[in-house]
C-alpha cells in the first residue's frame, strides 16, 4: 500500500528536531530507523502529516561507557549494538537482545531509542530496559529531563515522551562482574514479534545469594512488565529450583496476554513463566553457577 | 521398452542431458534485468485500485463514488452495474461454477472486490478507493464447512439448487471396501485436516491491459501460468476474436498454482482499458494477494485402513469434507472435481479401496488451486502417509517394516490401482532402502531408545509417497473442454542456432535451460545456441501451461519428439550432402554418418545450413517443426523422505535435526535444477507442517492477511536437507522423465508430522494437525505431565 501524503523535514540537531516537532504538534513524528513507523504508514494505520528525519544527525550516533554507565544516542542501530565488542563483553542482556530483535535487515536500520519510544507491547527492548534499570533522557525546547524505565513505559505505544519532545539518549548502568543475564524469547519465525519473552539480570553476592534481580517480560500484557514480586523473592536468597518455580509463577500471574496467531492466552501466560525460569538458569550458568538443590 | 527410450542410452556420454548446466535465465534475474508485469510502462497508462468488502456476508444497499471521483487524477470508478453492461459481472470458473467479478447485490467473503478505481497514478487510485462509500447490511456468516453442510443458511441464492453442497465425487468400490474393512483383523482410523494455505508467490498477481481502439487488438501482459488457456477464456467471455487477443506472460516471480485462475482484478483492468481506451495497470498488494487469490487445500479428511494381524493392508477408505469458499473456483481438470485425490492409495498394494469428497460453499475466499501439487495429490499423499504410520503403531510394527510389507513391487508395474490409475513405473523398495541407509535408520532408532530412557524427546518420521503428475492424456484430461496436451516449436536457423518455443510458461522452473538441454541432446547442438521463449500467445504454440508438474511430462515430450522429427528431415539432408541414400545414414555420436563410416559424417548444423542453401531435392527448404504431444499416460514420480526431530520439553519447540529426501523422478535433465526444486519444495512442506494456515474467525474475518501474520520461512527456520535420487525412467515418456517440481511439497509434510508424532508417542500422542506450533506440542507435553523445567 501507499502511505497517505506527508511533509518531510530533515533535522541536523536535537534542537532543530524539537523545534520542528513543536511547530507541527501531534501529527508530526520522528523518523529514525522507520522499521515500525513506515509499515504502519503503508497500511495507513499511522498517518502523520509531518516526518522529522533524524538519520543525518551525526552527533546522535554514539555508544560511550563512562562512570559506570553506558550512554547511547538516538541514531544508534540495533546492529551497532549487535556488533559492538563493548556490548558483547560488558552488557550481556543488551547483547542477547540485539541478537534477536526482528531480523538482520531490520536491525541494520532500526534504532534502540526508536524501538523504546515506539513501545510496542511485544517489543524486546522495553522488557530489557526494565530488567536492566535503564533510563531515558528526554529533550524539549526548555531543556532535558531523565526518566526511569518504570516511568518511561506508560501504556501501549505510549511513553513519557510528550508532544514536542524527543528522546535523545538512553542510559544503561554498567553491570558488575558478578552479574549474569539472559534474554529468552520465543517467536514463530525470525522477524516476528515475540510470542512471549523474558529479560533477566541477576547480580550475585560472593556467597551466591542474589544481590539484585531485574526481570522484565514482554508480549504478555498491554505493555512490557517488570516482575517486581519475583525480583523481591530472589533478593537475598540462594537460587533453588523451588525459588525459580515461585518466581516463574509470579511472572505467569502478572501476565495478562491476549490470544492471537502466536498462541492462546493460557499458553502465553504459562510459557512466559517457563522463559523467566530459563532466563534465571542461564544467568546463573553464565556466572559459572548452578541452581542450588 | 519403446523405441523412444532406446534413443536415450544412459551408458553413452550425453551432450547436454543429465548435466548441471547453470540456469541461463538467472543472469538477468540476479542483475535486476528481468521484466515482470510491474516493469511494463505504456504511454497514457492508468493505474487501478480495488475497493474490498470488510464483511464476509452482507447485502449491498448502495455504493457512493461521489467523493472518490473528486480525487485529482481519478478517471473512472466501476461497479458490478457497469460490468453487467458488458456481461462481465459474472465469469465462469475453471470448475464449471460462476463467480462475481465485482460484488453484485451482495458480498460473499471478506475482501471481495466491490469497485475498481482508475487514476493517473497508483497513489491517487489508492486514495480514491478509500473514499468509496459502500452501504452494507450484514448477513449471517457461514465460515465452517460443517456448519454449511446443515444448509440452515443458503449462501448461493443465485443457484437453482438451494443447498451449500457443491458436489459428491467418489471412486472405488464402496461395498467391497466396507466389507473388507468389516472383516479386517485390524482397523485403524486416522483423521487429518490439511489446513487452508496460500501459495504465496513473491510476485503478486498483476496485469497491464491495453486495448488499441484503432486496431481492435487487446493485449494483456499477465502473471499467467497458462497464457493460451487464458486467451481462450478471455475470448469466450468477452466475445473478442481470439486472433485479436494477445497474452504476454513475461518473467513471472513464482506461481505455484496461484497464477492459474482468472481473477476479478484481471477482468476489471481489461474492462477498464476497453471502456477508457488507454492501458490500465493493476498490481495486487500483498494483502490483496493473501485475501483474494485462490487458496489451496482446506480438506478435512478421514482414512480407515484394514489390515491383517501380520501387517498386510486389505482395504482403504478415505472420506473428505472440502471447503471451497464462496464460489467453486477450484482449478482441476473438468472430469476431476477433487483433482487426482484418488492417488490416495499411495505406494501400497491395497486390494480394495474407496474414496469420496463432499465439497461445500462457505463465506470464504474461493479457490482450491493446486499449490505446488498435481490437483489434490498433496492432500492424498499426506493422508495415506499419516494413516500408514498410525496403522503401524496400532500393529506395534516399525513404520519402515510396515511399509516394506505393503509396497507395490517392482514387478507389478504397470500397476492398476483399485481407484483406477495405471502407475507407469516405480521401485519403491530401492528408493526407500537408499533413504534408510543414508539417514542411518537403525542407529537412529537405537539413539531414540537411549534418549527415551533419559526422558529426552526425539522422533523419526517417514513418508514414502507416490505422485501422479503430467496431466494429461486427452482421453481423460481437459480444462473447459480443451485437451491437456502441450506444444513445442523448434526452428533451426541457417547457421545452426535455434529458437524453441513452448506452450508452457516457466515461473522459476528453469525451462530456458532444461528445454534447451532436451533439444541439444536430441540434435547434437550446443545448449548455448538454443534460445527458449515462452509466454507470448502470438508466437508460442498452443499449450495448457505450467502447473501440476506437467511441463516436462507434456512439453518436454513435445520437444523431444519435435526434435526427432527434425532429425528425420536432417537425415535426408545429410544423405543428400553425403551423396548416399537416407537408408545408408545412421545417427551416431550426435552426427549423421554413413553407416559404419564415422569419417563420412555431417552435423545437424551442417544440415541446417544446407536446408536453407542446398535443400535435398524434393524437400521443403527450412528446418523447423511444431509438435503437439498428447501423453499416453500420466507419470508417477515417487520418493522416500525421512525426518529426524528433537523436541525441547520446556517450550515445545521442534527442531528438525535431519531431513533425508530421496526422489525418483525418472530421467533427470539437469541435476542442479532438480536439487533446487527439491530444496524449494521441502522448504514449502516445512512451512505447511510448522507455520502456515489461513485463519478465519466465526464472522469470516480473515486473520492473517500479511506476512507478519502468515508465516513464510526464512533461511533461519528452514532445516538442512540431504537430497539424493534413484532413477526409474517412465516407460512411456519420450525421454523417460516424470516431473519433480512438486514431489517435495507433496511428500514432505507427512514426514515432518510423522516425526513429531513419533517423538510424542510415548506420551500417548497419536494426533497433531498442521501447522505444528510450539503451543500444540507444549500443551500435549503438559497434559501428559511432563515438567517444563
Residues of B in contact with A5 (CB under 8 A): 123
Residue ranges matching CATH 3.30.365.10 in chain B? 3-34+486-629, 295-471+633-783
> How far is it, in rounded angstroms, from Cα B716 to Cα A190?
7
| CB atoms closer than 10 angstroms to residue B309 | 9
Distance from CA of B285 to the nearest CA of A (A): 6
Decide if A267 and B717 are in contact by the 8 Å CB cutoff.
no
Contacts (Cβ under 8 Å, ≥6 apart) of A8: A50, A51, A53
Residues of B in contact with A270 (CB under 8 A): 778, 782
The band of A293, judged by pLDDT with boundaries at 50, 70 and 90, is confident
Distance from CA of B714 to the nearest CA of A (A): 7
Of B651, B691, B778, the CB nearest to A188: B691
Is 2.40.50.100 the CATH number for B295-471+633-783?
no
Whose CA is closest to B561, among B10, B4, B1?
B4
Of B130, B708, B714, the CB nearest to A190: B714
Of A103, A189, A244, the CB nearest to B691: A189
> How far is it, in rounded angstroms, from Cα A63 to Cα A170?
10
* pLDDT score of B4: 39
Of A189, A193, A274, the CB nearest to B650: A274
Decide if A1 and B285 are in contact by the 8 Å CB cutoff.
yes
Of B709, B716, B788, the CB nearest to A261: B709
Provide the β-strand partners of residue A50: A7, A28
* pLDDT score of B655: 98
> How far is it, in rounded angstroms, from Cα A28 to Cα B441?
62
pLDDT at B110 over 90: yes
The band of A2, judged by pLDDT with boundaries at 50, 70 and 90, is confident
Q: What's the mean pLDDT in B301-321?
A: 98
Decide if B782 and A270 are in contact by the 8 Å CB cutoff.
yes
Q: In a 3-state reduction of DSSP, which class is residue B325?
A: strand
Q: In a 3-state reduction of DSSP, which class is residue B179?
A: helix
The angle at the Cα of B576, spanning B574 to B581, to the nearest 5 degrees, equals: 90
Decide if B775 and A281 are in contact by the 8 Å CB cutoff.
no
Strand duo A50-53 + A28-31: pairing:
parallel
Would you state the cell numbers that stand for residue B591, as one nine-digit string? 552426427
Does residue A270 belong to the interface with chain B, where contact is any CB pair within 8 Å? yes
pLDDT at B3 over 80: no
Provide the β-strand partners of residue B593: B586, B601
Contacts (Cβ under 8 Å, ≥6 apart) of B507: B201, B225, B252, B253, B254, B255, B256, B259, B546
**Phi-psi sector, A160: left (phi>0), alpha (psi -120 to 50), beta:** alpha
The band of B13, judged by pLDDT with boundaries at 50, 70 and 90, is low
| DSSP string computed for B488-548 | EEEEE-TTS-EEEEES---SSS-HHHHHHHHHHHHHT--GGGEEEEESBTTTSPP---S-T
Decide if A271 and B285 are in contact by the 8 Å CB cutoff.
no
Decide if A4 and B708 are in contact by the 8 Å CB cutoff.
no
Residues of A in contact with B650 (CB under 8 A): 274, 277-278
Of B650, B712, B774, the CB nearest to A278: B650
Give burial (CB, 10 Å; 0-12/13-18/19+) of B286.
middle
pLDDT at A168 over 50: yes
Which alpha helices (DSSP H) does A43-194 contain, by range? 78-82, 85-90, 92-100, 104-109, 112-118, 125-132, 149-152
Residue ranges matching CATH 3.90.1170.50 in chain B? 37-139+204-252+259-292
Of A5, A193, A271, the CB nearest to B778: A271
Give the DSSP H or E segment for B399: helix B399-406
Decide if B789 and A267 are in contact by the 8 Å CB cutoff.
no
| CB atoms closer than 10 angstroms to residue B528 | 11
| CB atoms closer than 10 angstroms to residue A141 | 11
Residues of B in contact with A189 (CB under 8 A): 691, 711-714, 716-717
B215-233 pLDDT, tens per residue? 999 999 999 999 999 999 9
The band of B7, judged by pLDDT with boundaries at 50, 70 and 90, is very low
Q: Please report the beta strands in B199-255, taking only residues with DSSP state E, as ranges in sequence order.
A: 206-212, 217-222, 245-248
Asked if A146 and A161 count as a contact pair (C-beta separation under 8 A), the reply is no
Distance from CA of B123 to the nearest CA of A (A): 6
Whose CA is closest to B386, among B641, B767, B750, B757?
B750
Would you state the cell numbers that stand for residue B774, as one nine-digit string? 510450539
pLDDT at B1 over 80: no
Is 3.40.50.300 the CATH number for B37-139+204-252+259-292?
no
**Chain B: residues touching A (Cβ < 8 Å):** 122-123, 126-127, 130, 285, 287, 650-651, 653, 691, 695, 703-704, 708-709, 711-714, 716-717, 773-775, 778-779, 782, 788-789
Helix axes B743-760, B671-690, angle to 10 degrees: 40
Does residue A38 belong to the interface with chain B, where contact is any CB pair within 8 Å? no
Decide if A192 and B717 are in contact by the 8 Å CB cutoff.
no
Q: What's the mean pLDDT in B114-138?
A: 97
Decide if A186 and B708 are in contact by the 8 Å CB cutoff.
no
Residues of A in contact with B708 (CB under 8 A): 192-193
pLDDT at B196 over 70: yes
Provide the β-strand partners of residue B283: B206
Asked if B380 and B391 count as a contact pair (C-beta separation under 8 A), the reply is no
Q: What's the mean pLDDT in B121-136?
A: 97
* pLDDT score of B501: 98
Contacts (Cβ under 8 Å, ≥6 apart) of B346: B380, B381, B384, B385, B388, B464, B465, B466
B353-384 pLDDT, tens per residue? 999 999 999 999 999 999 999 999 999 999 99
pLDDT at B536 over 60: yes
Which domains does chain A show, CATH number per domain?
Answer: 7-53 (3.30.43.10), 61-173 (3.30.465.10), 179-286 (3.30.390.50)
Stated length of chain A: 293
B732-787 pLDDT, tens per residue? 999 999 999 999 999 999 999 999 999 999 999 999 999 999 999 999 999 999 99
* pLDDT score of B304: 98
* pLDDT score of B784: 96
Residues of A in contact with B123 (CB under 8 A): 2, 5
**Terminal Cα-to-Cα distance of chain B (whole angstroms):** 62
Q: What's the mean pLDDT in A186-214?
A: 97
- The nearest alpha carbon in chain B to A194 belongs to B708
- In the CATH scheme, what is the code of domain B3-34+486-629? 3.30.365.10
| CB atoms closer than 10 angstroms to residue B25 | 18
Query: How high is the ipTM of this complex?
Result: 0.95
Decide if B788 and A103 are in contact by the 8 Å CB cutoff.
no
Q: In a 3-state reduction of DSSP, which class is residue A180?
A: strand
> How far is it, in rounded angstroms, from Cα B644 to Cα B460?
5
> How far is it, in rounded angstroms, from Cα A213 to Cα A244?
12
Q: To the nearest whole number, what is the mean pLDDT of chain A? A: 97
Would you state the cell numbers that stand for residue B723, as one nine-digit string? 537430497
Residues of B in contact with A277 (CB under 8 A): 650, 788-789
Residues of B in contact with A4 (CB under 8 A): 127
Whose CA is closest to B424, among B632, B721, B136, B240?
B632
The band of B15, judged by pLDDT with boundaries at 50, 70 and 90, is confident
Decide if A274 and B782 are in contact by the 8 Å CB cutoff.
no
Decide if B650 and A189 are in contact by the 8 Å CB cutoff.
no
Q: What's the mean pLDDT in B181-195?
A: 98
Does residue A264 belong to the interface with chain B, where contact is any CB pair within 8 Å? yes
Decide if B775 and A263 are in contact by the 8 Å CB cutoff.
yes
- Residues of B noted as catalytic: 225, 372-373, 742
Asked if B145 and B323 count as a contact pair (C-beta separation under 8 A), the reply is yes
Of A2, A186, A264, the CB nearest to B123: A2
Q: What's the mean pLDDT in B529-535?
A: 97
B393-444 pLDDT, tens per residue? 999 999 999 999 999 999 999 999 999 999 999 999 999 999 999 999 999 9
pLDDT at B9 over 60: no
Does residue A103 belong to the interface with chain B, where contact is any CB pair within 8 Å? yes
Asked if B163 and B361 count as a contact pair (C-beta separation under 8 A), the reply is no
B29-84 pLDDT, tens per residue? 999 999 999 999 999 999 999 999 999 999 999 999 999 999 999 999 999 999 99
Residues of B in contact with A102 (CB under 8 A): none
Q: What's the mean pLDDT in B691-707?
A: 97
| DSSP string computed for B570-622 | HHHHHHHHHTS-GGGEEEETTEEEETTEEEEEE-HHHHHHHHHHSPPTTSPSS
Residues of B in contact with A274 (CB under 8 A): 650-651, 788-789
Contacts (Cβ under 8 Å, ≥6 apart) of B596: none
Does residue A102 belong to the interface with chain B, where contact is any CB pair within 8 Å? no
pLDDT at B14 over 90: no
A263-288 pLDDT, tens per residue? 999 999 999 999 999 999 999 999 99
B459-516 pLDDT, tens per residue? 999 999 999 999 989 999 998 899 999 999 999 999 999 999 999 999 999 999 999 9
- The nearest alpha carbon in chain B to A276 belongs to B789
Whose CA is closest to B377, among B62, B96, B636?
B636
pLDDT at B6 over 60: no
> How far is it, in rounded angstroms, from Cα A235 to Cα A233?
6
B601-651 pLDDT, tens per residue? 999 999 999 999 999 999 999 999 999 999 999 999 999 999 999 999 999
Would you state the cell numbers that stand for residue B454, as one nine-digit string? 533419559
Q: Which of B285, B290, B774 is best to mutate for the A interface (most A CBs within 10 A)?
A: B774
| CB atoms closer than 10 angstroms to residue B175 | 9
Residues of B in contact with A1 (CB under 8 A): 126, 285, 287
Q: Return phi, psi of residue A50, to 5°.
A: -135, 130
* pLDDT score of B72: 97
A114-131 pLDDT, tens per residue? 999 999 999 999 999 999
Give burial (CB, 10 Å; 0-12/13-18/19+) of B644.
buried
The band of B10, judged by pLDDT with boundaries at 50, 70 and 90, is very low
> How far is it, in rounded angstroms, from Cα B8 to Cα B34?
35
Burial A173-188 (b: 16+ CB within 10 A, else e): bebeeebbbbbbbbbb
Asked if B265 and B288 count as a contact pair (C-beta separation under 8 A), the reply is yes
Does residue A2 belong to the interface with chain B, where contact is any CB pair within 8 Å? yes
The label of the residue with cell 523431444 reads B560
Does residue A259 belong to the interface with chain B, where contact is any CB pair within 8 Å? no
**Terminal Cα-to-Cα distance of chain A (whole angstroms):** 57
Asked if B192 and B689 count as a contact pair (C-beta separation under 8 A), the reply is no
Between the CA of residue B120 and those of B42, B266, B549, what are the distances in Å? 12, 18, 40
- The nearest alpha carbon in chain B to A277 belongs to B789
Asked if B77 and B116 count as a contact pair (C-beta separation under 8 A), the reply is yes
Residues of A in contact with B772 (CB under 8 A): none
Distance from CA of B126 to the nearest CA of A (A): 7
Half-sphere exposure in the Cβ direction for B507 (13 Å, CA): 32
> How far is it, in rounded angstroms, from Cα B686 to Cα B680?
10
Q: What percent of chain B has pLDDT over 90?
A: 97
Decide if A186 and B782 are in contact by the 8 Å CB cutoff.
no
Amino acid at each position: 500500500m501507499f502511505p497517505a501524503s506527508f511533509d518531510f523535514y530533515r533535522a541536523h540537531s536535537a534542537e532543530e528536531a524539537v523545534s520542528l516537532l513543536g511547530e507541527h504538534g501531534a501529527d508530526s513524528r520522528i523518523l529514525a530507523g522507520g522499521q515500525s513507523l513506515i509499515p504502519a504508514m503503508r497500511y495507513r494505520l499511522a498517518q502523520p502529516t509531518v516526518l522529522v528525519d533524524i538519520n543525518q544527525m551525526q552527533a546522535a550516533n554514539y555508544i560511550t561507557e563512562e562512570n559506570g554507565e553506558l550512554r547511547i544516542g538516538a541514531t544508534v542501530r540495533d546492529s551497532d549494538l549487535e556488533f559492538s565488542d563493548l556490548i558483547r563483553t560488558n552488557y550481556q542482556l543488551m547483547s542477547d537482545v540485539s541478537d534477536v530483535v526482528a531480523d538482520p535487515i531490520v536491525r541494520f536500520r532500526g534504532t534502540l531509542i526508536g524501538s523504546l519510544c515506539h513501545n510496542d507491547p511485544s517489543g524486546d527492548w522495553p522488557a530489557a530496559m526494565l530488567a536492566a534499570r535503564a533510563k531515558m533522557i528526554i529533550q524539549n525546547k526548555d531543556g532535558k529531563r531523565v526518566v526511569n524505565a518504570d516511568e518511561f513505559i506508560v501504556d501501549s505505544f505510549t511513553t513519557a515522551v510528550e508532544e514536542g519532545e524527543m528522546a535523545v539518549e538512553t542510559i544503561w548502568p554498567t553491570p558488575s562482574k558478578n552479574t549474569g543475564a539472559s534474554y529468552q524469547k520465543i517467536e514463530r519465525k525470525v522477524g516476528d514479534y515475540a510470542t512471549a519473552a523474558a529479560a533477566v539480570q541477576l547480580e550475585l553476592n560472593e556467597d551466591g545469594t542474589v544481590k539484585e534481580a531485574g526481570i522484565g517480560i514482554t508480549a504478555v500484557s498491554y505493555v512490557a512488565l517488570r516482575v517486581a514480586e519475583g525480583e523481591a523473592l530472589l533478593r537475598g536468597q540462594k537460587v533453588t529450583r523451588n525459588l525459580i518455580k515461585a518466581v516463574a509463577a509470579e511472572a505467569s500471574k502478572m501476565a495478562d496476554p491476549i490470544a492471537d496467531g502466536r498462541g492462546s492466552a493460557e499458553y502465553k501466560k504459562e510459557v512466559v513463566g517457563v522463559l523467566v525460569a530459563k532466563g534465571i538458569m542461564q544467568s546463573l550458568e553464565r556466572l559459572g553457577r548452578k541452581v542450588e538443590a | 521398452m519403446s523405441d523412444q527410450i532406446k534413443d536415450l542410452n544412459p551408458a553413452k556420454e550425453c551432450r547436454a542431458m543429465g548435466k548441471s548446466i547453470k540456469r541461463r535465465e538467472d543472469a538477468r534475474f540476479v542483475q535486476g534485468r528481468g521484466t515482470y508485469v510491474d516493469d511494463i510502462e505504456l504511454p497514457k497508462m492508468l493505474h487501478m485500485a480495488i475497493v474490498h468488502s470488510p464483511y464476509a456476508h452482507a447485502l449491498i444497499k448502495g455504493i457512493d463514488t461521489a467523493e472518490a471521483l473528486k480525487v485529482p487524477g481519478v478517471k473512472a470508478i466501476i461497479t458490478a452495474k457497469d460490468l453487467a453492461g458488458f456481461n462481465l459481472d459474472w465469469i465462469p470458473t475453471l470448475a464449471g461454477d460462476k463467480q462475481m467479478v465485482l460484488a453484485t447485490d451482495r458480498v460473499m467473503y471478506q475482501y471481495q472486490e466491490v469497485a475498481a478505481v482508475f487514476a493517473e497514478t497508483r497513489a491517487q487510485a489508492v486514495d480514491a478507493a478509500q473514499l468509496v462509500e459502500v452501504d452494507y447490511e450484514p448477513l449471517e456468516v457461514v465460515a465452517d464447512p460443517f456448519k454449511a453442510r446443515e444448509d440452515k443458511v443458503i449462501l448461493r441464492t443465485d443457484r437453482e439448487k438451494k443447498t451449500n453442497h457443491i458436489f459428491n465425487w467418489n471412486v472405488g468400490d464402496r461395498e467391497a471396501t466396507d466389507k473388507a474393512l468389516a472383516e479386517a483383523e485390524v482397523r485403524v482410523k486416522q483423521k487429518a485436516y490439511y489446513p487452508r494455505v496460500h501459495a504465496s508467490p513473491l510476485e503478486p498477481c498483476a496485469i497491464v491491459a491495453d486495448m488499441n481502439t484503432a486496431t481492435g487488438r487487446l493485449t494483456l501482459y499477465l502473471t499467467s501460468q497458462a497464457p493460451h488457456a487464458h486467451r481462450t477464456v478471455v475470448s469466450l467471455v468477452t466475445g473478442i476474436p481470439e486472433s485479436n487477443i494477445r497474452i504476454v506472460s513475461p518473467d513471472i516471480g513464482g506461481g505455484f498454482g496461484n497464477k492459474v485462475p482468472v481473477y476479478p482484478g484481471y477482468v476489471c483492468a481489461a474492462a477498464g482499458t476497453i471502456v477508457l481506451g488507454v492501458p490500465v495497470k493493476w498490481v495486487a498488494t500483498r494483502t490483496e494477494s493473501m485475501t483474494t487469490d485462490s487458496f489451496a487445500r482446506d480438506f478435512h479428511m478421514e482414512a480407515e485402513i484394514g489390515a491383517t494381524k501380520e501387517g498386510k493392508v486389505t482395504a482403504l477408505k478415505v472420506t473428505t469434507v472440502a471447503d471451497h469458499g464462496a464460489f467453486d473456483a477450484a482449478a482441476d481438470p473438468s472430469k476431476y472435481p477433487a483433482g487426482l485425490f484418488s492417488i490416495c492409495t499411495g505406494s501400497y498394494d491395497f486390494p480394495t479401496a474407496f474414496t469420496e469428497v463432499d465439497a461445500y460453499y462457505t463465506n470464504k475466499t474461493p479457490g482450491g488451486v493446486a499449490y505446488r501439487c498435481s490437483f489434490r495429490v498433496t492432500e492424498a499423499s499426506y493422508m495415506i502417509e499419516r494413516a500408514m504410520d498410525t496403522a503401524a503403531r496400532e500393529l506395534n510394527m516399525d513404520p519402515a517394516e510396515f511399509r516394506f510389507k505393503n509396497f507395490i513391487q517392482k514387478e507389478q508395474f504397470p500397476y492398476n490401482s483399485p481407484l483406477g490409475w495405471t502407475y507407469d513405473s516405480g521401485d519403491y523398495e530401492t528408493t526407500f532402502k537408499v533413504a534408510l541407509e543414508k539417514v542411518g535408520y537403525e542407529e537412529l532408532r537405537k539413539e531414540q531408545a537411549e534418549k527415551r530412557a533419559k526422558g529426552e524427546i526425539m522422533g523419526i518420521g517417514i513418508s514414502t509417497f507416490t505422485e501422479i503428475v503430467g496431466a494429461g492424456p486427452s482421453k481423460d484430461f481437459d480444462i473447459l473442454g480443451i485437451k491437456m496436451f502441450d506444444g513445442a516449436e523448434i526452428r533451426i536457423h541457417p547457421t545452426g542456432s535455434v529458437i524453441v518455443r513452448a506452450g508452457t510458461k516457466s515461473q522459476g522452473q528453469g525451462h530456458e535451460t532444461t528445454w534447451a538441454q532436451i533439444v541439444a541432446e536430441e540434435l547434437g547442438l550446443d545448449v548455448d545456441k538454443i534460445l527458449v521463449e515462452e509466454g507470448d500467445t502470438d508466437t508460442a504454440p498452443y499449450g495448457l501451461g505450467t502447473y501440476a508438474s506437467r511441463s516436462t511430462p507434456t512439453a518436454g515430450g513435445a520437444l523431444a519428439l519435435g526434435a526427432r522429427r527434425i532429425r528425420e528431415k536432417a537425415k535426408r539432408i545429410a544423405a543428400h550432402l553425403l551423396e548416399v541414400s537416407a537408408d545408408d545414414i545412421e545417427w551416431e555420436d550426435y552426427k549423421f554418418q554413413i553407416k559404419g563410416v564415422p569419417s563420412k559424417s555431417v552435423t545437424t548444423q551442417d544440415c541446417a545450413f544446407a536446408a536453407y542453401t542446398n535443400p535435398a531435392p524434393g524437400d521443403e527448404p527450412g528446418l523447423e517443426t511444431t509438435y503437439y504431444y498428447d501423453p499416453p499416460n500420466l507419470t508417477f514420480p515417487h520418493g522416500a523422505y525421512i525426518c529426524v526431530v528433537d523436541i525441547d520439553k520446556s517450550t515445545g519447540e521442534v527442531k528438525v535435526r535431519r531431513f533425508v529426501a530421496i526422489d525418483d523422478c525418472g530421467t533427470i535433465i539437469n541435476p542442479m535444477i532438480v536439487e533446487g526444486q527439491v530444496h524449494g519444495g521441502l522448504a514449502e512442506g516445512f512451512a505447511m507442517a510448522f507455520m502456515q494456515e489461513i485463519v478465519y474467525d466465526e464472522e469470516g474475518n480473515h486473520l492473517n492477511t500479511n506476512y507478519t501474520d502468515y508465516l513464510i520461512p526464512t533461511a533461519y527456520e528452514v532445516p538442512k536437507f540431504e537430497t539424493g535420487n534413484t532413477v526409474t525412467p517412465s516407460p512411456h515418456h519420450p525421454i523417460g522423465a516424470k516431473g519433480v517440481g512438486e514431489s517435495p511439497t507433496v511428500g514432505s509434510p507427512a514426514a515432518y508430522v510423522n516425526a513429531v508424532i513419533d517423538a510424542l508417542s510415548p506420551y500417548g500422542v497419536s494426533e497433531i494437525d498442521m501447522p505444528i506450533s510450539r503451543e500444540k506440542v507444549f500443551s500435549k507435553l503438559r497434559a501428559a505431565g511432563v515438567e517444563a523445567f
